[in-house]
Each structure stands twice: as C-alpha cells, then as structure tokens.
C-alpha cells in the first residue's frame, strides 16, 4: 500500500474519494459528509498545509491525513483557545500544527496504515507542537485513541463541546518533532 505526500491540488482532485473515506471511517451519514466538502477544500489553501494518502495498488484511496499551521482567526483555533487558560494556550498553540483529519477506510484498518500516515504527515513539520481533536466516546475501543497514546499525545482539553456538535471531544497534543516508534511496537 503506497503512502504518498499530497499537495493541495492532489487533495482537491481526489476530494470525493477523501470524503468517502472520511464518511466510512467515521460512520457519518452521507448528507453530513458532503456538507463538509467546502470546508475540506478551503483547508487546502491554509498556510503550512501538508497531506498524505495511502493508496491501494489500483489507486483506490485507503486513507488520508492532513493539517496546517494553526493560527488565530481560524475557527478550530479560536474554539480551543477560548477554552484554555492563557498559559496553556500559549504553550500549546503559539507554534502549532493542527492535525485536522486522519482517517483509514474500515477495510484497511489494523495494518499500520494510520500510524504510517501520522508519522509521514508529522515528520519534518516546522512547528513545536501538534494538536488534534477526537471524539471522547468510545475512546477505549478506538484505534485512533490507542494510536495517539502510543505516539505520546497528551490530554490538553477533555470533554469539550464544539458549537453545533453534541458529542464531547478531547483535544490532544504533543511536542514535535515526532520521535520514531520504538522497534517491535504493534501498529494499528
């Protein structure tokens, strides 16, 4: 399964495939998935944009991840900033890469695809921290949660509610650079 780096045009060219993987991985209804089309497309123009994709031999998109430099004025940045005490905000968000999406299609999960994508995406990011948000429930059974913990992500904010979403989220972060995984560690 080849893992490749994408530029903004690559993401936009495969936007339907990206949204299909996103929807399958998150088990979201179709109308919600495609309502995010313009958001995802606009993210490709953000400063510091980076993306990776995992493809099957036939070119089918199996997974993707992307992020960019988190900056004041961006919706997610402002929501998280408002919930953090000032010193915590500055230590985590003054020089931050925002991991916006990281998804693997259900049939490709459990084979190290997510860890490979996350590692490739964060390697060489010229920022001092990375932050992401992920649903709180069901974290114990979530491959994503296990991956983030295994790679050293810490709690920054817990049980946070973004406007328009009833689910609680956790904001997790870690310092950069990303250290390579220890030999022999199981990947998911």
Query: What are the tokens at 68?
Result: 């960019």
- How many domains does the structure of the chain reveal? 1
- Residues carrying an active site annotation: 148
For 47, 85, 115, 129, the CA distances from 90, given in Å and listed in that order, are: 19, 9, 28, 11
Q: Which residue has the higher pLDDT, 167 or 81?
A: 81
Q: Which residue has the higher pLDDT, 179 or 147?
A: 147
Q: Whole-angstrom Cα distance, residue 188 to residue 179? A: 17
- Please give the pLDDT value at position 177: 94
Predicted model pTM: 0.90
Residue 98 is assigned to a structural domain of this protein: yes
The pLDDT tens digits for 85-94 are 999 999 999 9
- What CATH number is attached to the domain comprising 77? 3.40.630.30
Residue 10 is assigned to a structural domain of this protein: yes
Residue 186 is assigned to a structural domain of this protein: no
> In whole numbers, what is the pLDDT of the chain averaged over residues?
90
Q: Residues 122-142: what's their mean pLDDT?
A: 86
Residue 180 is assigned to a structural domain of this protein: no
- Please give the pLDDT value at position 98: 98
């Amino acid at each position: 399964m080849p893992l490749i780096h994408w530029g903004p045009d690559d993401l936009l060219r495969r936007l339907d495939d990206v949204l299909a993987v996103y929807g399958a991985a998150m088990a979201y209804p179709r109308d919600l998935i495609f309502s995010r089309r313009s958001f995802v497309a606009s993210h490709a123009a953000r400063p510091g944009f980076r993306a990776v994709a995992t493809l099957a031999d036939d070119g089918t998109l199996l997974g993707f991840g992307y992020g960019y430099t988190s900056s004041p004025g961006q919706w997610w940045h402002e929501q998280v900033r408002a919930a953090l005490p000032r010193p915590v905000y500055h230590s985590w968000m003054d020089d931050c890469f925002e991991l916006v999406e990281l998804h693997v299609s259900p049939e490709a999960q459990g084979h190290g695809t997510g860890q490979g994508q996350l590692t490739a995406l964060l390697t060489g990011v010229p920022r001092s921290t990375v932050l992401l948000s992920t649903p709180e429930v069901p974290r114990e059974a979530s491959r994503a949660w296990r991956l983030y913990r295994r790679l050293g992500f810490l709690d920054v904010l817990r049980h946070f509610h973004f406007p328009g979403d009833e689910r609680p989220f956790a904001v997790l972060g870690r310092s950069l650079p990303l250290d390579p995984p220890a030999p022999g560690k199981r990947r998911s």
